[in-house]
Amino acid sequence: MRVILELARKDLVLLLRDRAAAFFTFVFPLAIALFFGYVFGGTTSEPIKVAAWMERPTPAAERLVRALGEDGAFVLDVVTDRESGEQLVRRGRAVALVTVPADYDERLSRTFTGGGARVGLVVDPSRRAEGAMLIGKLHEVTFRTVFEGMSDPAQLQPMLDRVEERLKEPGSGLSMTDQVAIRAMLARARSASPGAAAGAGADEAAGLAAWRPVVVERSELPMRPGIPANAFAISFMQGITWALFGAVLTFGAGIAEERQRGTLVRLLVSPLRLGEVLLGKALACFVACLVAQALLYGTGIAFFGVRVAGWQWAALAMVATAFAFSGLMALMAAAFRTQGGAQGAGRAALLVLTMIGGGTIPVVFMPPFLRTMSDISPFKWAVLAAEGATWRAWGAADMWLPLTVLAVIGVAGLAVGASLVQRTARHA
């Protein structure tokens, strides 16, 4: 073990002496994290996945939910309780939860008399841009459904009756001019055909520039009380992929470089065994990956509002990620015989895996085909483990999968890498 530790120390010292390699391993990932944190827009051309929950299924509430489902901008998942909807948001399977309160129908009847219905919108804090777009779409859909309901005589007449009752109340808060205008509109609506009534109502509403039939009350879903999420909570997890990219590329080319320079032969004729040489480099890569992750976590927590939901999961995620990419480094080191091949082909392969794994565009914003492809990227599982320990606030039921995948990648990489190095060392 002393020999392995000494080899690891030697490689870490060489890394720190190489300013370019040290920059791309420790500093460049921070720059990437800050860049994406500032410019991250969170928009996508794909239909937005939205959950909807009706506290009490009423005609108007069902009409609203049905209209959301028929709108091409949404992929709607109707849930039976609020907790199920929030879980979909918390796990990233929905951008937001639309909540329709039990008194939606009753309050909708006050639309023309100073009151109005309210709809809740609980947004994933990492998808604020899409949440803002959802508010506009909800106003559009609710506006449309209110006047579509007026085309049904069974719904129109009770609504008009409730409006007139509201006008008679002393505390309606409406001026005499407003009351006269509303009564005139109600008279036209009662005397017109159902379709014309809907049109007349729409024309009146179009003249009220600031009027909204339904108020959308937006809130963000806390992943856990006291732990806010923001754009940097995502971008700093993306930055981890570039730290891992730099560490694997730097150490992965090490054995090829030593083979090319002849130092690998000198190491092998010494009392050192080949397994010790490989484990020494893997340990150095492991330490570099841990330090880079700790740097990103620490900077994000100290200056950019990143919060850790579960420190035990964060520690496990960091260790599992460092282990996985140490194994990936061993595999890469054994796969290439020359330093140029390791740095050229290795960089190309790692760059593709980084990009489809969420290093540039978050996986949730990718087209379905790329989201499926991203499963082959170890970078995706590293990001999922990091997000699960921070803003997603995952528990054991969700964390076991990315942690297990990372562990398997580490074991497989070390095993296959050791076998390949053993085979090629005879020709070194």
CA distances, 164 to each of 160, 171, 188 (Å): 6, 13, 13
Give the three-state DSSP class for 193: coil
pLDDT of 136: 80
- pTM for this model (two decimals): 0.56
* List of long-range contacts for 264-271, beta carbons under 8 Å, 24+ apart: 264/425, 264/428, 265/428, 268/425, 268/428
pLDDT of 356: 87
Which residue blocks in 262-376 are alpha helix, DSSP H? 263-269, 274-303, 311-335, 339-354, 368-373
pLDDT of 67: 86
Q: Do the Cβ atoms of 199 and 151 come closer than 8 Å?
A: no
pLDDT of 423: 73
pLDDT tens over the chain, length 428 residues: 888 888 788 888 887 887 767 787 788 778 777 766 655 544 445 678 899 999 998 888 888 888 888 887 778 999 999 989 888 887 778 888 999 998 887 777 666 555 567 889 988 776 777 777 788 888 778 777 766 655 555 555 666 566 666 666 665 555 666 556 556 655 655 565 444 444 444 444 444 434 455 778 888 776 554 344 567 888 888 889 989 998 888 887 766 676 666 666 565 556 667 667 778 889 999 999 999 999 999 999 998 878 888 899 999 999 999 999 999 998 887 776 666 656 667 777 888 899 888 888 777 667 777 788 899 999 999 999 998 898 888 889 899 999 999 999 999 999 998 888 777 655 55
Report the alpha-carbon distance of residue 141 to residue 98 in Å, rounded: 12
pLDDT of 417: 85
pLDDT of 109: 65
CA 221 to chain centre: 13
Q: Do the Cβ atoms of 156 and 197 come closer than 8 Å?
A: yes
Report the alpha-carbon distance of residue 4 to residue 117 in Å, rounded: 69
pLDDT of 240: 92
